[in-house]
């Protein structure tokens, strides 16, 4: 009897803690949705449960007055190209590092690690000057190029770790059967490495989508902004005045992204632990 | 089919050319290749290769020599005439020349080695395969290089070049007052580092920002790992129902873009109209509410709390995955031995979890050390602090941002980033060196 009582108390305690955590998680999220539905643009008079329920901010975002849809499109372009490009580039590099012996292989791995350690901020001035020199400042392609180059050290490491777990006997057997280098790569390594490649693709899709620092330096005209820069500029100057619009814009971004994440998180975690802990 | 025929051919050739081959001189090939890349290859009768090398060197001499000459000169002097010479542009050209020079020197050394080795092989009675065969072999051997070249080239310009540039910048006096084109930038040696260590205003700022960075990294990361672990163990309890739903909700903060949530929290913590003060603190305690954005102490508390909110779901998801994979046998065995719940956690759960996730957890620390977004988006590193060049919540990276883009003190910013890079790499290298990747040999 005492045992059962204790167990029941414990379970109640667990649920109680989880309930508190739920409140802490949901409060800011619901607050944002509430804000976005308030009438008027002032944060002073807005409340979590709107007195005058209105969709005006959502309408405004889609109106020709705002650049919101352009930003959305820009972000999708940058993210898509970065994701696709990084999967291709990184898997090529990782394949060479995982399966071949060549000059500078071991040192190359150390260099990759070292390059990750220095803050990205350090490169900003040089990148600005560099893009300016080759005339790609304020272009989406310049931004994509930087993302593509910058992701290699980290992701090559991740993917190489995963490739290492694929038994060598598989590609050796294929080689004996007469498959060439590229054939082994495309029909054996890539299909087997799908989980980690999905992780790389997802990371490189999400990262540019919400990176703020680099685009804020590279992009200067409003029609080129990505979502993060655009949304930040909503509230940068008149924080209290535009907040409801910002909230509406955020909700429209956060909902699809959160849905994708929740849907894929299982694969994400398994890919990360496989590549990360063994890599 | 073609193979036996080829072998016969090969043998008769060998017989016929034997005398000539013995006289083939590797030293001569080496000297020729040193004189002008490709000559040694011509001597070795590898005409295609020789012509390629000659073309490369000729093209290099014709087009690049001036550029590199100027680059090296610029790197040494950073310009001599104020108003005409643009020091920073010269620095950029200098770094690019160095990179090109390194590539060319590598090719040149490769050319010399290739000429010598091949000549030696010819002397020992080797004849060159036919063109098609040779190309095939070259493809076989250079395959890993072909695979890595596009990625590494891009990386060279986007990661390595900026890094070298920034490191060099740390040894100049590039700041607002002597910025080109009006003025020249000069090499100042270690002056920036000396200022950081000795000049009071720099020293005080550096020490206070540095210590807050360490506190921030350790406390925020440990807290998010602790909360994640605690909740993962809690939800994993066999008596808890609706596990799937609970887990989905707990991962939600990770799924919502951090960029958005930080800005939302910044609004919620706003001193005057934020929801935290208006709806929670004032109704509970009365008074004016807490100065979340204007007092350094409260700002720091707020930032740590927000980071915990943002960071625990990832750790939670990670740990949940591992917890589910721990075999029940362990716990049953422990039950038979009569161990307490604490012991089971300490000796079964914790080692399993830590073993599987250690590298990722270390990365969490490194990430928070460089977590620019939360510091800058929450309060732009504020509030300002008296007698200091940085705000109350500024960590090293956001301070570097301010030094660069607000006060244009590029030299000092670069010096601080070098210190940061060395700190992180020292820490991480020590940790990563023991992982398996380095021990595995690559060979197909």
**Structural domain includes residue B188:** no
Mean predicted confidence (pLDDT) in A121-148: 89
**Structural domain includes residue A256:** no
Beta bridge partners of B384: B391
Check whether residue A113 and residue A143 sit in a common domain. Answer: yes
Buried b (16+ CB within 10 A) or exposed e, A31-45: bbbbbbbbbebebee
Q: What percent of chain A has pLDDT over 90?
A: 32
- Looking at the structure of chain B, the number of domains it has is 2
B428: chain A residues, CB-CB within 8 Å = 113, 116-117
The count of CB pairs under 8 A between chains A and B is 282
**Structural domain includes residue A8:** yes
Q: Which has the higher per-residue pLDDT, B31 or A279? A: B31
Mean pLDDT of chain B: 84
Instruction: Give the lowest-confidence range in A66-70, A118-122, B19-23, B33-37.
Output: B19-23
User: Among residues A208, A190, A203, A209, which one has the least CA distance to residue A267?
Assistant: A203
Helix, strand or coil, per DSSP, at residue B384: strand
Check whether residue A26 and residue A130 sit in a common domain. Answer: no
Give the model's pLDDT for residue B5. 42
Give the model's pLDDT for residue B8. 44
CA A180 to chain centre: 35
What six digits make up the tokens of B190?
Answer: 């270690």
A44: chain B residues, CB-CB within 8 Å = 273
**Structural domain includes residue A259:** no
Best of B141, B144, B157 to substitute, by most chain A Cβ atoms within 10 angstroms, is B144
Mean predicted confidence (pLDDT) in B430-443: 50
Residue A6 distance to chain B (closest CA, Å):
13
Q: Which has the higher per-residue pLDDT, B13 or B189? A: B189
Entry pTM: 0.83
A-contacting residues in B 164-183 (Cβ below 8 Å):
165-166, 169
Q: What is the pLDDT of residues B165-176, one digit of tens each?
A: 999 999 999 888
Mean predicted confidence (pLDDT) in A248-261: 89
Q: Residue B328's pLDDT band (boundaries 50, 70, 90)? A: confident
- How many residues does this entry show for chain B? 444
Q: In terms of DSSP H, where are the helices of A37-67? A: 56-62
**The domain spanning residue A212 has which CATH number?**
1.10.3720.10
Check whether residue A76 and residue A8 sit in a common domain. Answer: no
Mean predicted confidence (pLDDT) in B113-137: 81
Beta bridge partners of B172: B187
Residue where one domain finishes, among candidates B178, B210, B240? B178
What six digits make up the tokens of B37?
Answer: 């890349």
Question: Any CB–CB contact under 8 A between B240 and chain A?
Answer: yes
Query: Given a cut of 60, is residue A80 above it in pLDDT?
Result: yes
Q: What is the pLDDT of residues A158-207, one digit of tens each?
A: 898 889 888 888 888 998 998 888 899 999 899 998 888 988 998 899 88
Give the model's pLDDT for residue A69. 93
Check whether residue B22 and residue B171 sit in a common domain. Answer: yes
**Structural domain includes residue A278:** no
Residue B29 distance to chain A (closest CA, Å):
23
The sign one gets for the Cα dihedral B230, B236, B242, B245 is positive
B363: chain A residues, CB-CB within 8 Å = 276
Instruction: Give the lowest-confidence range in A70-74, B15-19, B143-147, B307-311.
Output: B15-19
Check whether residue A33 and residue A120 sit in a common domain. Answer: no
The C-alpha atoms of residue A232 and residue A246 are separated, in whole angstroms, by 8
What six digits make up the tokens of B121?
Answer: 């092989």
Give the model's pLDDT for residue B435. 53
Give the model's pLDDT for residue A278. 42
Check whether residue A116 and residue A216 sit in a common domain. Answer: yes
What six digits make up the tokens of B372?
Answer: 């620019």
Tell me the residue range of the domain where B385 lies. Answer: 196-433
Mean predicted confidence (pLDDT) in A232-236: 80
- CB A219, CB A141: distance < 8 Å: no
Nearest to A28 among B257, B261, B443 (CB): B261
**Structural domain includes residue A247:** no
User: Among residues A98, A83, A140, A271, which one has the least CA distance to residue A195?
Assistant: A271
- Looking at the structure of chain A, the number of domains it has is 2
Check whether residue B86 and residue B209 sit in a common domain. Answer: no
Question: Any CB–CB contact under 8 A between B351 and chain A?
Answer: no
Instruction: Give the lowest-confidence range in A116-125, A258-267, B12-21, B55-64.
Output: B12-21
Q: What is the pLDDT of residues B309-326, one digit of tens each?
A: 999 998 998 888 888 888
Check whether residue B129 and residue B265 sit in a common domain. Answer: no
Check whether residue B425 and residue B290 sit in a common domain. Answer: yes
Q: What is the pLDDT of residues B106-121, one digit of tens each?
A: 888 988 888 888 888 8
Check whether residue A121 and residue A217 sit in a common domain. Answer: yes
Question: Any CB–CB contact under 8 A between B163 and chain A?
Answer: yes
Residue where one domain finishes, among candidates A39, A59, A79? A59
Residue B1 distance to chain A (closest CA, Å):
16
Give the model's pLDDT for residue B16. 53
Give the model's pLDDT for residue A215. 92
- CB B128, CB B134: distance < 8 Å: yes
Question: Any CB–CB contact under 8 A between B439 and chain A?
Answer: no
Residue B19 distance to chain A (closest CA, Å):
35
Query: Given a cut of 60, is residue B13 above it in pLDDT?
Result: no
**Structural domain includes residue A258:** no
Query: Given a cut of 50, is residue B4 above it in pLDDT?
Result: no
Check whether residue B287 and residue B142 sit in a common domain. Answer: no
**Structural domain includes residue A101:** yes
In this complex, do B166 and A123 lie within 8 Å of one another by their Cβ atoms? Answer: yes
**Structural domain includes residue B90:** yes
In this complex, do A209 and B257 lie within 8 Å of one another by their Cβ atoms? Answer: yes
Check whether residue B343 and residue B386 sit in a common domain. Answer: yes
One-character DSSP codes across B335-350: HHTT--HHHHIIIIIH
Give the model's pLDDT for residue B394. 92
A-contacting residues in B 4-63 (Cβ below 8 Å):
none
Check whether residue B301 and residue B372 sit in a common domain. Answer: yes
Residue where one domain finishes, among candidates B136, B151, B178? B178
- Which residue in chain B is spatially nearest to A259 when comparing CA positions? B255
One-character DSSP codes across B113-166: HHHHHHHHHHHTT--PPPHHHHHHHHHHHHHHHHHHHHHHHHHIIIIIHHHHHH
Tell me the residue range of the domain where A27 lies. Answer: 2-59
Check whether residue B297 and residue B428 sit in a common domain. Answer: yes
Check whether residue A73 and residue A54 sit in a common domain. Answer: no
The C-alpha atoms of residue B125 and residue B22 are separated, in whole angstroms, by 8
Nearest to A150 among B159, B258, B358 (CB): B159
Give the model's pLDDT for residue B388. 80
Q: What is the pLDDT of residues B275-293, one digit of tens each?
A: 888 888 888 887 778 888 8
Residue A198 distance to chain B (closest CA, Å):
16
Give the model's pLDDT for residue B7. 45
**The domain spanning residue B230 has which CATH number?**
1.10.3720.10
Give the model's pLDDT for residue B19. 62
Q: Which has the higher per-residue pLDDT, B2 or B96? A: B96
Q: Which has the higher per-residue pLDDT, B431 or B63? A: B63
The C-alpha atoms of residue A124 and residue A130 are separated, in whole angstroms, by 10
Check whether residue A164 and residue A209 sit in a common domain. Answer: yes
Mean predicted confidence (pLDDT) in B136-163: 88
* ipTM score of complex: 0.85
Check whether residue B144 and residue B251 sit in a common domain. Answer: no
Q: Which has the higher per-residue pLDDT, B342 or B213? A: B213
Instruction: Give the lowest-confidence range in A180-189, A224-233, B235-244, B350-359.
Output: B350-359
Residue A235 distance to chain B (closest CA, Å):
9
Check whether residue B156 and residue B213 sit in a common domain. Answer: no
Give the model's pLDDT for residue B3. 40
Check whether residue B306 and residue B414 sit in a common domain. Answer: yes
Nearest to B159 among A113, A153, A212 (CB): A153
Best of B158, B248, B439, B440 to substitute, by most chain A Cβ atoms within 10 angstroms, is B158
Give the model's pLDDT for residue B434. 58
Instruction: Give the lowest-confidence range in A58-62, B178-182, B349-353.
Output: B178-182
Q: Which has the higher per-residue pLDDT, B145 or A48? A: B145
Best of B159, B223, B362, B421 to substitute, by most chain A Cβ atoms within 10 angstroms, is B159
Check whether residue B255 and residue B401 sit in a common domain. Answer: yes
């Amino acid at each position: 009897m005492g045992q059962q009582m204790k167990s029941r108390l414990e379970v109640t305690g667990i649920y109680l803690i989880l309930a508190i955590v739920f409140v802490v998680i949901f409060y800011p999220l619901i607050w944002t949705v509430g804000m976005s539905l308030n009438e008027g643009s002032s944060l002073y008079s807005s409340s979590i449960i709107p007195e005058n329920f209105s969709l005006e901010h959502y309408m405004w975002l889609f109106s020709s007055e705002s650049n919101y849809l352009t930003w959305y499109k820009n972000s999708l372009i940058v993210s898509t190209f970065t994701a696709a490009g990084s999967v291709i580039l990184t898997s090529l590099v990782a394949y060479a590092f995982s399966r071949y012996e060549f000059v500078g292989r071991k040192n190359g791995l150390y260099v990759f690690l070292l390059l990750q350690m220095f803050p990205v901020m350090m490169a900003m001035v040089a990148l600005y000057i560099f893009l300016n020199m080759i005339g790609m400042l304020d272009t989406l392609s310049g931004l994509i190029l930087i993302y593509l180059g910058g992701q290699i050290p980290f992701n090559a490491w991740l993917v190489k770790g995963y490739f290492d777990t694929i038994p060598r006997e598989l590609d050796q057997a294929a080689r004996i059967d007469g498959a060439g280098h590229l054939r082994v790569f495309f029909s054996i390594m890539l299909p087997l490495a799908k989980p980690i490649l999905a992780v790389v693709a997802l990371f490189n899709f999400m990262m540019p989508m919400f990176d703020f620092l680099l685009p804020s330096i590279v992009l200067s005209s409003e029609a080129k902004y990505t979502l993060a820069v655009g949304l930040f500029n909503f509230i940068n100057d008149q924080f209290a005045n535009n907040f409801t619009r910002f909230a509406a814009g955020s909700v429209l971004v956060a909902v699809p992204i959160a849905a994708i994440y929740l849907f894929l998180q299982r694969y994400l975690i398994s890919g990360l632990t496989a590549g990360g802990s063994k890599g | 089919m073609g193979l036996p025929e080829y072998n016969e051919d090969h043998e008769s050739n060998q017989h016929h050319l034997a005398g000539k081959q013995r006289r083939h001189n590797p030293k001569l090939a080496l000297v020729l290749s040193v004189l002008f890349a490709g000559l040694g290859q011509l001597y070795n009768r590898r005409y295609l290769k020789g012509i390629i090398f000659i073309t490369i060197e000729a093209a290099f001499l014709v087009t690049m020599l001036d550029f590199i000459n100027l680059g090296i000169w610029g790197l040494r002097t950073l310009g001599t005439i104020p108003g005409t010479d643009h020091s920073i542009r010269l620095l950029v050209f200098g770094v690019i020349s160095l990179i090109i020079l390194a590539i060319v020197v590598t090719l040149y050394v490769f050319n010399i080695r290739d000429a010598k080795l091949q000549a030696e092989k010819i002397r020992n009675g080797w004849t060159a395969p036919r063109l098609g065969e040779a190309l095939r072999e070259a493809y076989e051997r250079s395959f890993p290089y072909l695979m890595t070249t596009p990625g590494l080239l891009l990386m060279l310009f986007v990661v390595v070049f900026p890094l070298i540039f920034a490191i060099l910048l740390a040894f100049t006096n590039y700041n607002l007052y002597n910025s080109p084109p009006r003025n020249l930038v000069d090499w100042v040696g270690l002056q920036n580092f000396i200022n950081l260590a000795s000049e009071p205003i720099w020293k005080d700022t550096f020490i206070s920002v540095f210590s807050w960075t360490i506190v921030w990294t350790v406390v925020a990361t440990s807290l998010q790992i602790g909360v994640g672990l605690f909740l993962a163990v809690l939800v994993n309890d066999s008596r808890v129902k609706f596990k799937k739903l609970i887990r989905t909700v707990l991962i939600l903060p990770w799924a919502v873009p951090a960029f958005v949530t930080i800005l939302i929290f910044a609004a919620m913590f706003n001193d005057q109209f934020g929801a935290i003060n208006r709806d929670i603190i004032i109704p509970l305690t009365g008074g004016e509410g807490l100065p979340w954005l204007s007092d350094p102490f409260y700002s720091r508390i707020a930032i740590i709390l927000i980071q915990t909110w943002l960071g625990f779901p990832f750790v939670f998801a990670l740990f949940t995955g591992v917890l589910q994979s721990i075999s029940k046998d362990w716990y049953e065995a422990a039950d038979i031995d009569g161990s307490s719940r604490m012991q089971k956690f300490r000796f079964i759960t914790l080692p399993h979890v830590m073993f599987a996730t250690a590298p990722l957890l270390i990365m969490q620390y490194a990430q928070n050390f460089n977590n620019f977004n939360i510091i800058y988006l929450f309060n732009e590193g504020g509030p300002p602090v008296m007698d200091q060049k940085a705000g109350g919540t500024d960590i090293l990276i956001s301070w570097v941002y301010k030094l660069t883009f607000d006060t244009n003190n590029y030299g000092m910013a670069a010096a601080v980033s070098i210190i940061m890079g060395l700190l992180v790499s020292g820490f991480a290298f020590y940790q990563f060196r023991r992982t398996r990747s380095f021990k595995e040999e690559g060979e197909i």
